[in-house]
């Protein structure tokens, strides 16, 4: 073949490039490069990012055999691996809890693991072994559907910046102490770990995402929070329990987040905020808050719309507002107190930066229309007001339009978009 | 009064950086384009080089002028701040459409210039080329030598099966490899032996006169020994004789070509006997080792098959030797060697 080393295009590239290429291949193809030539032999074994899923082994109808093959593949790959492993990701619904997982995590804990993502099948939740808590170089941890039980001697992940727990079975105090013992924590996401009472103490936290049935949430110390997304699933008894307590949820959640830039509240968020004793006006100004998205706001509940009013009047730099209604039409139609908006809002109160407003799921009930009118009158730089009626409302649309056309607009540039669906 | 319109064109005050590639050629590039590469930027800032032709910045060896042109095209596009992400993405996708060789060179150059975004898109393109291809296809695309043995290719992921056929195959290949190694070793031994040839002229003379007989004798000796060994039922022994035969043959043919028949024949016959002595000596421990090696895990039927196969192979080789030897000897003695010998005397 002549001087083959001259013709060879790729084997002599530096290891960092080979790693860059092999990391972008599915792990099965990366391992197979070991068969190519002597220079490629075991080069994949130095990869620091290992991502496994069910494509690692050929498909097979026999479920148990497939599981075995996959487990073998992962075990062999780990066994042949050399050097540190910085990222390990395993996402497949074909694997349930199996004893090998404990050994894999133990192996990884000795390999300076920095990022660990584990998402397995749904029928059996794995119990995370205690060796996970010895991975003291962890920067990012994502766990799906498992049981987490930190040992009492656990002092925290000193380097952890991202924690993402989805359907994880963990006790309230365990998760609280886990969060507070990770001093560098910046991203926290807790989904569907139900019935938690949370006091979040995270001085460096920037991004927070909470979703599920929480009994109580209190942002005790999150001064640097930039973005927050909360979806509160509330049952009747939780709501009752909250009514009886005297603490104000609004203050508990939004009392000390001065740098907040984006707020997203889903499901019963505004209802949750409305519960609790208000004790007069809030004094917090959210001078960085630019985007507010609120879903399932029921405009017939005066407390809820008071919450909305509070939020927008205390955010002088608000640029974008999105509200999705969920009004019980019958109850809402009997609305009284329609000058509520002007009454409660201190004048002159202008939304001087508000440019975009999106109202969705509008049923055309009086308070919704009053709110739109209120916004149009007080937003001098508004550019777009888009309104999407609720799909189930067919008859009221014409009336909505008639009212909309009448409203005065403070901004000459404002476009009103009525989006049919 | 006519108004003469004079157009005043201000020369653009652009600064240029001088770059020198490994082949010695020097290029001039706009500064804002060149410093998009971290390595060049650092050179300019830290050492102040690049401001004139004499002080051109030397680029790493992996950057040749054609590839440098490509890199600079990339820099020229991306250093403009106002472009949207979509524009950049579109440019990147069109940019990496090139043949594989160029792509590899570009990756290498981008890496040596520390231009990470370019390394990323080229690596991604290379990964896309590799993904889904069979090993043969990948070897062809990148001109990789197929220099792994079959056994190496089988391990490690397939070693996990207890498949007896694979283990048999592994064992066969192990034996063949051993044979090859022995052959190599004997060749080396023989080369060493040849150098110790210090016979006198008289010896040479006497040998030439009795030359034919000796070689024949040597041949018979060898075959006798061969037969005896075959009776021992040791495969490696027979194949070693094969090796011995092969190197003998090699020896004789080279002797004929060179014309130094006398020396060659003498040398080869003596080495032949020395050969076999050393062969016998080095053998016995190996035979034992080998026997011990046989007995794990393979059932007797397979073992029989294995024995038969390797013997077959050895026999095939061995049967050729006597005829070939005769052929070459006759060739040598009749055509070239005799006339030359005559000439010397």
Distances in whole angstroms, Cα of residue A222 to Cα of each of A180, A189, A270: 11, 14, 20
Q: Which residues of B touch A73 (CB under 8 A)?
A: 157
Single out the residue of A133, A134, A123, A77 nearest to residue A100, CA to CA.
A77
Q: Which residue does chain B place closest to A16, by CA atoms?
A: B111
Tokens found for residue B47? 């050492």
List, for residues A163-203, the tens digit of each pLDDT value: 999 999 999 889 999 999 999 999 999 998 878 888 999 99
Distances in whole angstroms, Cα of residue B274 to Cα of each of B174, B218, B235: 28, 11, 22
Contact indicator for A272, A249 with CB cutoff of 8 Å: yes
Of the residues A35, A49, A57, A81, the best mutation for testing chain B's interface (the one with the most B CB atoms within 10 Å of its CB) is A35
Interchain CB distance below 8 Å, A16 and B111: yes
A3: contact with B, CB 8 A cutoff:
no
Interchain CB distance below 8 Å, B104 and A10: yes
List, for residues B191-222, the tens digit of each pLDDT value: 655 555 566 666 666 666 664 444 444 444 44
Share of chain B above pLDDT 70, in %: 48
pLDDT at B16 exceeding the cut of 70: yes
Q: Which residues of A touch B100 (CB under 8 A)?
A: 9
Please name the member of A20, A37, A76 whose beta carbon is closest to the beta carbon of B156. A76
Confidence of residue A118 (pLDDT cuts 50, 70, 90): very high
Tokens found for residue A392? 């189930």
Interchain CB distance below 8 Å, A36 and B144: yes
Neighbours of A319 (CB within 10 A): 15
Tokens found for residue A254? 């939004």
Interchain CB distance below 8 Å, B144 and A73: no
Q: Which residues of A touch B143 (CB under 8 A)?
A: 4, 7-9
Q: Which residues of A touch B107 (CB under 8 A)?
A: 13, 17
Tokens found for residue A421? 């669906």
- Predicted confidence at residue A364, as pLDDT, reads 83
Contact indicator for A188, A167 with CB cutoff of 8 Å: no
What is the arithmetic mean of pLDDT over A10-14? 82
pLDDT at A346 exceeding the cut of 70: no
Determine how β-strand A87-91 pairs with β-strand A49-52: parallel
What is the arithmetic mean of pLDDT over A327-347? 69
- Predicted confidence at residue A39, as pLDDT, reads 83
Question: How high does pLDDT run on average in chain A?
Answer: 87
Residue predicted with more confidence, B261 or A112: A112
Rounded CA-CA distance A259/A224 in Å is 6
Residues 6+ away with beta carbon under 8 Å from A116: A87, A88, A89, A105, A108, A132, A135, A138, A140, A141, A142, A143
> From its phi and psi, is residue A212 left (phi > 0), alpha (psi between -120 and 50) or beta?
left
Tokens found for residue B196? 């110790």
Please tell me whether the peptide bond between B314 and the residue prior to it is cis, using omega within 30 degrees of 0. no
pLDDT at B9 exceeding the cut of 50: yes
Question: How high does pLDDT run on average in chain B?
Answer: 67
Helices and strands (H and E) in chain A: how many: 14, 17
N-terminal to C-terminal alpha carbon distance within chain B: 115
Tokens found for residue B171? 């064992």
- Predicted confidence at residue A380, as pLDDT, reads 92
Interchain CB distance below 8 Å, A72 and B156: no
Instruction: Fill in the DSSP letter of residue B51.
Output: S
Contact indicator for B264, B256 with CB cutoff of 8 Å: yes
- Predicted confidence at residue A195, as pLDDT, reads 80
List, for residues A23-79, the tens digit of each pLDDT value: 999 988 888 888 888 888 888 898 999 999 888 888 888 888 888 889 999 999 999
Tokens found for residue B189? 């031994």
Residue predicted with more confidence, A336 or A310: A310
Please name the member of B123, B146, B157 whose beta carbon is closest to the beta carbon of A17. B123
Interchain CB distance below 8 Å, B144 and A16: no
Determine how β-strand A126-127 pairs with β-strand A262-267: unpaired
Residue A6 phi, psi (nearest 5)? -75, -40
**Lowest mean per-residue pLDDT among A25-34, A249-258, B173-182, B302-311:** B302-311
A161-164: which pairs have CB atoms within 8 A and are 24 or more residues apart?
A: A161/A185, A161/A186, A161/A187, A162/A186, A162/A187, A162/A188, A163/A187, A163/A188, A163/A189, A164/A140, A164/A188, A164/A189
Distance from CA of A47 to the nearest CA of B (A): 14
List, for residues B293-330, the tens digit of each pLDDT value: 444 455 666 667 767 776 776 676 666 556 666 666 66
Please tell me whether the peptide bond between B131 and the residue prior to it is cis, using omega within 30 degrees of 0. no
- Predicted confidence at residue A282, as pLDDT, reads 65
pLDDT at B227 exceeding the cut of 50: no
Q: Which residue does chain B place closest to A42, by CA atoms?
A: B156
Rounded CA-CA distance B23/B33 in Å is 22
Share of chain A above pLDDT 70, in %: 93
- Predicted confidence at residue B264, as pLDDT, reads 39
- Bridge partners of A211? A191, A231
Q: At what angle do helices B211-231 and B201-209 cross, to 10 degrees?
A: 80
List, for residues A268-311, the tens digit of each pLDDT value: 888 888 887 665 556 788 999 999 999 999 888 888 888 888 88
Q: Does the interface predicted TM-score (ipTM) exceed 0.85?
A: no
List, for residues A357-393, the tens digit of each pLDDT value: 999 998 888 888 889 999 999 999 999 999 998 888 7
List, for residues B45-102, the tens digit of each pLDDT value: 888 887 888 888 888 888 888 888 888 899 989 888 888 889 899 999 998 898 888 8
pTM exceeds 0.95 for this model: no
What is the arithmetic mean of pLDDT over B166-194? 77
- Give the helix/strand (H/E) hosting A240: helix A236-244
Q: Which residue does chain B place closest to A12, by CA atoms?
A: B108
Residues 6+ away with beta carbon under 8 Å from A340: A302, A305, A367, A370
Interchain CB distance below 8 Å, A13 and B123: no
- Give the helix/strand (H/E) hosting B294: helix B261-294
List, for residues A73-113, the tens digit of each pLDDT value: 999 999 999 999 999 999 988 888 788 999 999 999 999 89
A27-30: which pairs have CB atoms within 8 A and are 24 or more residues apart?
A: A27/A51, A27/A52, A27/A56, A27/A77, A28/A55, A28/A56, A28/A57, A28/A73, A29/B130, A29/B131, A29/B132
- Predicted confidence at residue B259, as pLDDT, reads 38
Q: Is the dihedral angle over the CA atoms A198, A202, A203, A209 positive or is it negative? A: negative
């Amino acid at each position: 073949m002549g001087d083959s080393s001259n013709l060879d295009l790729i084997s002599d590239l530096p290891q960092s490039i080979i790693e860059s290429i092999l990391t972008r291949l599915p792990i099965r193809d990366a391992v197979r490069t070991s068969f190519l030539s002597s220079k490629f032999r075991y080069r994949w074994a130095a990869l620091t990012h290992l991502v496994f899923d069910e494509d690692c082994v050929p498909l097979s109808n026999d479920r148990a055999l497939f599981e075995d093959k996959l487990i073998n593949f992962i075990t062999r790959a780990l066994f042949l691996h050399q050097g540190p492993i910085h990222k390990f990701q395993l996402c497949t619904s074909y694997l349930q809890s199996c004893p090998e997982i404990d050994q894999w995590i133990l192996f990884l804990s000795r390999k300076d693991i920095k990022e660990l993502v584990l998402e397995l099948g749904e029928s059996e939740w794995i119990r995370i072994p205690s060796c996970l808590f010895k991975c003291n170089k962890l920067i990012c941890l994502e766990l799906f559907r498992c049981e987490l039980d930190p040992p009492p001697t656990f002092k925290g992940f000193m380097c952890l910046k991202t924690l993402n727990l989805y359907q994880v079975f963990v006790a309230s105090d365990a998760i609280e102490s886990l969060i507070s013992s990770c001093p560098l924590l910046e991203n926290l996401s807790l989904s569907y770990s139900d019935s938690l009472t949370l006091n979040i103490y995270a001085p460096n936290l920037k991004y927070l995402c909470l979703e599920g049935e929480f009994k109580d949430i209190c942002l005790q110390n999150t001064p640097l929070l930039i973005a927050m997304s909360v979806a509160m699933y509330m049952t009747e008894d939780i709501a009752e329990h909250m009514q009886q307590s005297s603490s104000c949820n609004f203050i508990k959640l939004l009392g000390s987040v001065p740098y907040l830039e984006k707020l997203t509240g889903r499901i019963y968020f505004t209802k949750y905020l409305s519960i609790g004793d208000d004790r007069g006006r809030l004094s917090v100004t959210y001078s960085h808050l630019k985007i507010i998205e609120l879903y399932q706001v029921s405009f017939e509940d005066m407390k809820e719309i008071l919450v909305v009013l509070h939020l927008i009047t205390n955010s002088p730099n608000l640029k974008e507002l999105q509200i999705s209604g969920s009004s019980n039409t019958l109850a809402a139609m009997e609305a009284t107190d329609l000058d509520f908006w002007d009454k409660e809002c201190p004048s002159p109160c202008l939304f001087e930066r508000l440019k975009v407003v999106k109202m969705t799921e509008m049923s055309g009930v009086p308070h919704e229309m009053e709110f739109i009118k209120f916004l149009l009158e007080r937003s001098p730089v508004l550019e777009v007001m888009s309104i999407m009626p609720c799909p189930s409302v067919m008859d009221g649309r014409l009336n909505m339009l008639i009212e909309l056309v009448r409203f005065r607009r403070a901004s000459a540039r404002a476009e009103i978009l009525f989006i049919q669906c | 009064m006519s108004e003469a319109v004079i157009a005043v064109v201000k020369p653009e005050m652009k600064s240029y950086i001088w770059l020198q590639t490994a082949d010695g050629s020097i290029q001039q590039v706009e500064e804002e384009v060149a410093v998009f590469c971290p390595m060049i930027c650092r050179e300019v800032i830290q050492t102040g080089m690049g401001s004139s032709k004499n002080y051109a910045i030397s680029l790493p060896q992996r950057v040749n002028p054609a590839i440098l042109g490509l890199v600079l095209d990339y820099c020229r596009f991306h250093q403009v701040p106002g472009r949207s992400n979509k524009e950049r993405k579109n440019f990147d996708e069109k940019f990496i459409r090139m043949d594989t060789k160029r792509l590899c060179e570009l990756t290498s150059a981008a890496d040596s210039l520390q231009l990470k975004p370019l390394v990323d898109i080229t690596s991604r393109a290379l990964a896309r080329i590799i993904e889904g291809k069979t090993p043969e296809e990948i070897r062809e695309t990148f001109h990789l030598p197929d220099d792994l043995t079959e056994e190496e290719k089988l391990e490690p992921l397939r070693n996990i099966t207890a498949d007896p056929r694979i283990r048999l195959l592994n064992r066969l290949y192990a034996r063949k490899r051993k044979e090859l190694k022995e052959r190599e070793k004997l060749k080396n031994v023989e080369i060493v032996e040849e150098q110790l040839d210090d016979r006198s002229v008289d010896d040479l003379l006497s040998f030439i006169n009795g030359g034919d007989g000796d070689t024949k004798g040597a041949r018979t000796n060898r075959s006798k020994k061969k037969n005896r060994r075959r009776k021992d039922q040791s495969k490696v022994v027979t194949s070693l004789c094969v090796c011995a035969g092969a190197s003998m043959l090699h020896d004789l043919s080279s002797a004929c070509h060179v014309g130094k028949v006398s020396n060659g024949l003498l040398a080869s016959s003596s080495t032949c006997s020395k050969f076999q002595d050393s062969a016998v000596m080095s053998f016995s421990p190996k035979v034992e080792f080998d026997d011990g090696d046989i007995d794990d895990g393979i059932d007797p039927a397979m073992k029989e098959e294995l024995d038969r196969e390797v013997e077959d192979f050895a026999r095939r080789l061995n049967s050729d030797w006597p005829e070939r030897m005769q052929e070459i000897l006759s060739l040598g003695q009749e055509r070239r060697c005799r006339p030359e010998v005559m000439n010397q005397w």
